[in-house]
């Protein structure tokens, strides 16, 4: 049974909600609800209860830097939790399964959504920014707190000798998109004014992990193998 851990909502961010943190949380909520383009730094100031109209600009400089600060706020903790889970798997006598590894990626994100301060806006914020042409969330994620994802990549590849690295790289990218979009869509349905029945989060996450494991470990078709060889010949 999947267990979603809880932790203090201010864990890792100090005891008081200072101005910078209030701005981050306000911006994250507004970006999640309205989209990046529809929100100005002035609106972020107002939502954070700041009388100084230039507070967000003072603390972050630009909307892009504010987006990076939100990512940093969330992913420092998510990455650390992922590394802890991967280390616990490494310490076990039995070899970790691919499902164990996928859980170590997915569950910390779910924990942040469920237990982090303002966390329910976080996943929709990520989904909004990921789909925005002017904001490269991939670059941000590669440059900040990517160590756990690299560790996952190395361990998962070792368990999938039948999947060529180029194929795995594409599947890995699709996995991230699937996980983010599925969790974001679930939250969107939960807050929708139109009532919809949703299954419990642990069951939803277990099904999501099942699908992710299946996608990563699927046999490589003859067609994909042929296309991969043709691509490699062109690159040679």
Gap between the terminal Cα atoms of the chain: 47
At residue 14, the pLDDT reads: 33
Report the interhelical angle of 98-115 vs 63-91 (nearest 10°): 130
pLDDT along the chain (236 residues), means of 10: 50 52 94 92 93 88 92 92 95 90 96 84 88 73 83 95 96 93 87 74 96 97 96 90
31, 201, 37, 43: which is closest to 126 by C-alpha? 31
What the block records as the tokens of 69 is 């600060």
What the block records as the tokens of 111 is 């924990």
Which residues contact residue 204 at a Cβ distance below 8 angstroms, ignoring those fewer than 6 apart?
Answer: 186, 198
At residue 127, the pLDDT reads: 87
106, 112, 129, 127: which is closest to 77 by C-alpha? 112
Please compute, for residue 180, the number of CA atoms within 13 A of its CA located in the half-sphere on the CB side.
19
109, 93, 95, 89: which is closest to 181 by C-alpha? 109
Taken in order of first residue, the domains within the chain and their CATH numbers are 63-235 (1.10.357.10)
Q: Is 198 exposed, middle or buried, given 0-12, 13-18 or 19+ CB atoms closer than 10 A?
A: exposed
Helical (H) or strand (E) element with 168: helix 165-191
Q: What angle do CA 188, 194, 199 make, to 5 degrees?
A: 60
* Beta carbons of 144 and 72 less than 8 angstroms apart: yes
Q: What is this structure's pTM?
A: 0.84
* Beta carbons of 183 and 123 less than 8 angstroms apart: yes
| CA 76 to chain CA mean position, Å | 11
Other Cβ atoms closer than 10 A to 63: 20
Helical (H) or strand (E) element with 180: helix 165-191
């Amino acid at each position: 049974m999947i267990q979603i851990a809880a932790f203090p909502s201010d864990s890792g961010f100090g005891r008081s909600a200072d101005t910078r943190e209030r701005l981050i949380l306000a911006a994250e909520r507004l970006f999640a609800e309205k989209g990046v383009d529809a929100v100005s730094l002035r609106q972020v100031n107002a939502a954070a209860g700041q009388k100084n109209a230039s507070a967000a600009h003072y603390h972050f400089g630009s909307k892009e830097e504010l987006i990076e600060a939100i990512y940093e706020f969330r992913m420092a903790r998510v990455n650390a939790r992922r590394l802890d889970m991967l280390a616990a798997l490494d310490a076990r006598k039995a070899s970790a399964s691919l499902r164990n590894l996928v859980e170590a990626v997915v569950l910390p994100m779910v924990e942040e959504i469920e237990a982090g301060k303002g966390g329910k806006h976080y996943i929709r914020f990520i989904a909004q920014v990921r789909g925005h042409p002017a904001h490269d969330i991939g670059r941000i994620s590669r440059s900040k707190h990517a160590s756990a994802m690299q560790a996952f990549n190395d361990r998962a590849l070792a368990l999938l000798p039948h999947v060529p690295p180029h194929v795995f790289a594409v599947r890995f990218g699709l996995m991230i998109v699937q996980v983010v979009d599925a969790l974001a869509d679930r939250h969107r349905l939960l807050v929708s004014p139109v009532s919809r029945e949703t299954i419990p989060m642990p069951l939803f996450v277990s099904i999501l992990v099942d699908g992710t494991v299946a996608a990563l470990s699927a046999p490589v078709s003859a067609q994909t193998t042929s296309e991969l060889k043709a691509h490699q010949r062109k690159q040679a």
